[in-house]
Amino acid sequence: MKATTPAADRPQRRFNLLGTLVLHFRPRRVPERTLRFTLTWGLGGMAVVLVLLQLFSGILLKFAYAPIPTQAYESLVRLQEGFLFGRLVRNIHFWSANLLVVVVCLHGLRVFFSGGFHPPRRLNWVVGLSLLILVLASNLTGYLLPWDQLAYWATTICLGVLEYIPLVGSLLQQVVLGGPQIGPATLRNFFALHTAVFPALIVMLMAFHFWRVRKAGGLVIPRAPAEEPAKSAMAPTNPDLLLREAAMAMAVIAGVLVLSLLYDAPLGQPANPGLSPNPTKAPWYFAGIQELLVHFHPSFALLIVAALAFGAFYLPYLHYAETPAGVWFASATGRRTALAAAVAAGVATPLVVVLGEYAVDFSAMMPGLPQALSLGVVPTALLIAVVAGFYAVMARKFQASRLESVQAVFVFLAVGWVLLTATCVFFRGQGMELRWPF
């Protein structure tokens, strides 16, 4: 006969399973070398703290916010002026959301440049990029909720690009908007996504991310020299690691509080669909795309974004002859190629922006070609030629390996994207014309 578990023992079994799960995420001992702050800069822990701040402040905001166009703006005004610490709670939510984008991006860069995306950590790289996309999507859906002029028109710009996705663009745009234009259905959709769907997905992927870190053997650390023992000394998680994590969490919380006390989250005039502000800019984390739209057709801007996303996800699955785990920029040659790539992007990107503004129409059609093809063929061919040529130059001039050359291309594109973002945020004035920020 099959043995049965007494009812009194079932809660104990559930407790043991929960304890095993927790212990699997938190080892009892860790290598001493992983306790160095400069190994990870605490970026993963910072992201966790910021997500928790988002969750707790968001729950408090839900008690006062009304996801209805005629009431959304007034509910935030009432929150800031009529509730004790209401303004502070909204400021915490705003600043932790923006800082989370920065921290997640820096964490991804740290993982890439220190070789943390090689086997057996390839899947975790994909999970990390998925988390970044979810964070960006969560920020975008939350950006509309104040229902002021800035939120309404910035969201209009971001969602307007969807129309240019081949075959399914118009349908996808209507699904996201809940109709032909931004309205009550859009606000309801964004509120549900921002407060329920995306937080649940982020928390689940974060848990899976931590589990994969443990599954892959913990943090990536530089390989020990031959004279060192194969196994490094171990340190107890409590208190050695726990105290460091607590100190970092307190520092992050203090930083968010200082920002929240000094700078208020923006809240302009109520949304007016008939009056567009000048200039109308997307949120800063999508400003790079908007800068591309100034120079190129939207189809090409989407092509660039899709190509960059696909390339980022595929990076770990390229065949590399070496996998220098824990070594920043792979090698001395890798550091030289990365520096050369950063300098090249720092020169080329402003040059392209200035030429596109005053001299060259990058979106001009080619004679004899259909409009849909000609609007993208020239910039697409130019982009492919630039990336392929830059890869070849790095490989030949510096005798760089595939890993070092790919890393140089990554740095070139990343620095270029940062400069495009800065150009749109700081150097675009009325009519999206170039101007000095002062």
At residue 218 the predicted structure's pLDDT band, cuts being 50, 70 and 90, is confident
Domain identity same for 91 and 80: yes
| Domain-ending residue, one of 275, 301, 336 | 275
pTM score of the predicted model: 0.89
At residue 225 the predicted structure's pLDDT band, cuts being 50, 70 and 90, is very low
Of 71 and 374, the one with more pLDDT? 71
> What are the tens digits of pLDDT across the range 23-37?
556 677 888 888 888
Q: Which CATH number covers residue 121?
A: 1.20.810.10
**Residue 163 falls within a domain, yes or no?**
yes
Distance CA 411, CA 400 (A): 14
**Residue 17 falls within a domain, yes or no?**
no
Domain identity same for 286 and 269: no
Domain identity same for 131 and 264: yes
pLDDT value at 227 more than 50: no
Domain identity same for 47 and 179: yes
Domain identity same for 384 and 406: yes
Q: Which of 178-182, 321-325, 366-370, 410-414 has the highest mean pLDDT?
A: 410-414
**Residue 282 falls within a domain, yes or no?**
yes
Domain identity same for 270 and 285: no
Distance CA 51, CA 100 (A): 7
Q: What local confidence, expressed as pLDDT, does residue 319 receive?
A: 86
**Residue 337 falls within a domain, yes or no?**
yes
Q: What local confidence, expressed as pLDDT, does residue 323 receive?
A: 77
> What are the tens digits of pLDDT across the range 79-123?
999 888 999 999 999 999 999 999 999 999 999 999 889 888 999
Radius of gyration for the alpha carbons in the chain, expressed in angstroms and rounded = 25
Domain identity same for 170 and 192: yes
Of 220 and 134, the one with more pLDDT? 134
Alpha-carbon distances of 6 from 3, 19, 248, 286, rounded to whole Å: 10, 20, 45, 57
pLDDT value at 226 more than 50: no
Q: What local confidence, expressed as pLDDT, does residue 374 receive?
A: 52
Could you give the number of structural domains in the chain? Answer: 2
Tell me which residue range forms the domain holding 431. 278-438
Give the residue from 161, 413, 176 showing the smallest Cα distance to 302: 161
Q: What local confidence, expressed as pLDDT, does residue 322 receive?
A: 78
Q: What local confidence, expressed as pLDDT, does residue 379 receive?
A: 65
pLDDT value at 358 more than 90: no
pLDDT value at 69 more than 70: yes
**Residue 14 falls within a domain, yes or no?**
no
Q: What local confidence, expressed as pLDDT, does residue 95 receive?
A: 97
Domain identity same for 85 and 136: yes
Q: Mean pLDDT score of the chain, rounded to an integer?
A: 85
Q: What local confidence, expressed as pLDDT, does residue 417 receive?
A: 95
Q: Of 98-107, 176-185, 292-301, 388-397, where does mean pLDDT reach its minimum?
A: 292-301
Domain identity same for 301 and 202: no
Domain identity same for 86 and 72: yes
**Residue 4 falls within a domain, yes or no?**
no
Q: What local confidence, expressed as pLDDT, does residue 298 receive?
A: 81
**Type of residue numbered 95:** W
Domain identity same for 213 and 318: no
pLDDT value at 376 more than 90: no
Domain identity same for 203 and 291: no
**Residue 29 falls within a domain, yes or no?**
no
Give the residue from 48, 92, 51, 49 showing the smallest Cα distance to 259: 92
Of 165 and 414, the one with more pLDDT? 414
Q: What local confidence, expressed as pLDDT, does residue 365 receive?
A: 52
**Residue 345 falls within a domain, yes or no?**
yes
> How much is the average pLDDT of 235-253?
89
Instruction: Sort 9 into a burial class: Cβ within 10 Å, 0-12 / 13-18 / 19+.
Output: exposed
For 194, the 3-state DSSP assignment is: helix
Q: Which residues contact 300 (CB under 8 A, 6 or more apart)?
A: 292, 363, 375, 376, 379, 380
pLDDT value at 336 more than 90: yes
Of 394 and 166, the one with more pLDDT? 394
